[in-house]
Amino acid sequence: MSVFSVFRTTMAVLGLHMVLLLSGSSVLISAADVDFDAASNAILSPFSGTTVKTTSDPTTSFTTRVNKTTTRPPAITKHLTEKDEEEEGPPEFECPPLGLESLRVKDNQLKASSYKRRGLGPHRGRLNIQSGIEDGDIYDGAWCAQYRDKNQWLEVDARRLTRFTGIILQGRSSIWSWDVVHTYKVQFSNDSVVWKPCMNGTKEAVFEGNQDTETPVLALFNVSTVARFIRINPQTWYQNGTQGDICLRAEVLGCPLPDPNNNYAWLTEPTESRDKLDFRHHNYMEMRKLMKLVHEECPDITRIYSIGKSYKGLKLYVMEISDNPGKHELGEPEFRYVAGMHGNEVLGRELVLNLMQYMCQEYKRENQRIVHLIKETRIHLLPSMNPDGYEIAYKKGSELAGWALGRFSYEGIDMNHNFADLNSVMWTAIELETDRSKLINHYFPIPEMYTSEEAFVASETRAVINWMQNIPFVLSANLHGGELVVTYPYDMTRDWAPREHTPTPDESFFRWLATAYASTNQVMSNPDRRPCHNKDFLRYNNIINGADWHNVPGSMNDFSYLHTNCFEVTVELSCDKFPHASELPTEWENNRESLLVYMEQVHRGIKGVIRDKDTEAGIADAIIKVEDIDHHIRSVADGDYWRLLNPGEYTVTVTAEGYLPSTRTCQVMYDYYPTICDFRLTKIPARKQKEVLPKGKLTKDLQLRLRQLRLRKLRVTTKAINQRRAAAAAKQVKKV
């Protein structure tokens, strides 16, 4: 989800110790002390730690509670470590949200006494809804009443008898206005004609609303009430002379009552997914435990490893699924899903955990589609790239975390702006270089600056870059939340435009990839769905070029494409960044097919092995050029390569240092398997090499060497930072 809409809320949410630096290409928020830890790619015995018991802390017990607003403690000050077992759980409500935020409650279930204009209608009164940059359009940031008196209300029709237990209230989302409701009353009705007030003993209850526009405030009713309709009735609000309007965003908590004709229906209602998966939110400890269980269930096709640690020392665990775990097999493409780069966008994490369980189960049941996928692909699943951020959001829970809490790394870094900006390097070169043959179009080295110890690069980012080097990924998706759309590179605009269509040379394949996910996702592909926040992506068939949405310099997708062979898109999985646990089975159903179909796309296009004609040895780092596509791919260690392409006929040329180039035609069909296009290259006799070498050859060698050199530097500085941080941590422990 856009950093922009998050950014305006950030300052309220982040601690004051953060310093905001606006420096050239990226927005950085730096914390005072830096405390990095190991970012190695070692295979670990991941669960050597102690046994874990997570204590949940039910904060609500409505029958005994006196009617008062529950205010959660502010910042999380507790440090997260692997040994920290007594974690505070999120607040658990007796009844789930009706789904104003998740859109389970439809627009026509929301009514109001009056509204200022269409863009501020009752259908906008949903928790966490985001306005656009401008106020005044049809996608404004709250329900706002037309009048300013105590008779205004927002009404929710639950459509069946419901035991209402509470309300969560939020102010208006806007850059320009400040509108919050300070206190409010609540009324119930069975027919929306006769209304009865929510009581606190013998008096009508008055609930505390908001003091700022962003923080969701929970109010639990003293006594729950069964009704079909509920009204939120503001009593006092922020009044700035004649300015302040009555505006709010809300969620309603309530348990739907059983159908009176079938007393046991709700108890026997099947879960909303036919798959038997662990549908709940998993914190760090629970995530580890689940991954371990999956590995124990399917030891032959899984392996758990860590790619490094977060700032706070939480490991970045990966589940590998393959018929030969731990090994790259010649010709077998490698795939990855990365979730939770923004810690508060939690659905991706749960879907990836669901996916590993599902694949294990289905493999054992001999589901041929899954067996085939596992045999032909090496799959890597990283459920949580930003575990520190996640833990912060998790403790507030799905309804009270707001829009931005937990998005950033512990140091305040937005990881999707934190990768080296290679786009600028490329575009500057294009502008300055008159000899086009000297330009490179792939495998861009990391800029020197980025490799220094002082570079403000998150430990999580460093770990992922290292991972990208160690494994020859072909395809990936970066799972986010807060919208429903699939975006594809580039994410960065060329001339710092706030938004501008900025295609890669592989535009058509990226559009195909994005479509593969979007068209099989059950919510995105529903033509009747309403837009999440302030942009109607249905008009774009739910796919968009990243830069055409908003400019994101330093994104993981752009880096992946320009620095490695891997193609990557971003999937925005749901309007709600942190769906309530009760939504998870439905979300799995919405995404199961898309997650599988997308992985299968790694088998599109052409692949093969590039060998020495005489020795049959594989040739690494050979360049695979496809005519008319200005982006090359390199072969990996054993000479194997993958070139994702749409169906069609392609002229492919392979060049390698010390060999004569070779060209052939490769035909890509509409099938779910790639065309094999092997190459056998003839060595240039040593004495002839000088004459035959094409111009610009030296530049290319230099490029490869520079790329390796910079990477080595990045690893060295990362190691140094990690050691310093480990020493500092050890010192701290001694003091305590």
Binding site for Zn ion (CB under 5 A): 1, 342, 345, 480
Helix/strand/coil for 550: coil
Under 8 Å CB-to-CB from 124, ≥6 apart: which residues? Answer: 139, 140, 141, 142, 143, 249
Amino acid letter, residue 381: L
Under 8 Å CB-to-CB from 592, ≥6 apart: which residues? Answer: 275, 354, 358
Measured in degrees and rounded to the nearest 5, phi and psi for residue 421 equal: -80, 95
Amino acid letter, residue 161: L
The interaxial angle of helices 347-364 and 584-600, nearest 10 deg, is 70
Question: Would you state the structure tokens that stand for residue 675, as one six-digit string?
Answer: 């065309």
572 is catalytic: yes
Q: Min. distance of Cβ 484 from Zn ion in angstroms?
A: 13
The interaxial angle of helices 556-563 and 459-470, nearest 10 deg, is 30
Measured in degrees and rounded to the nearest 5, phi and psi for residue 655 equal: -125, 150
Dist CA 146 CA 215 (whole Å): 24
Measured in degrees and rounded to the nearest 5, phi and psi for residue 6 equal: -80, -35
* Cβ 23 vs Cβ 415: under 8 Å: no
Dist CA 662 CA 674 (whole Å): 20
Closest alpha carbon to 584 in 266, 273, 267: 273
DSSP per position, 624-660? EEETTEEEEEE--TTSEEEE---SEEEEEEEE-TTB-
Pairing relationship of beta strands 199-200 and 203-204 according to DSSP bridges = antiparallel
Dist CA 701 CA 699 (whole Å): 6
Helix/strand/coil for 516: helix
Question: Among residues 391, 572, 583, 587, which one is catalytic?
Answer: 572
Dist CA 647 CA 735 (whole Å): 64
* Cβ 564 vs Cβ 641: under 8 Å: no
Other beta carbons less than 10 A from residue 537's beta carbon: 21
Q: Which is nearer to Zn ion, 334 or 345 (CB)?
A: 345
Question: Would you state the structure tokens that stand for residue 131, as one six-digit string?
Answer: 């306005």
* Cβ 367 vs Cβ 358: under 8 Å: no
Catalytic center residues:
572
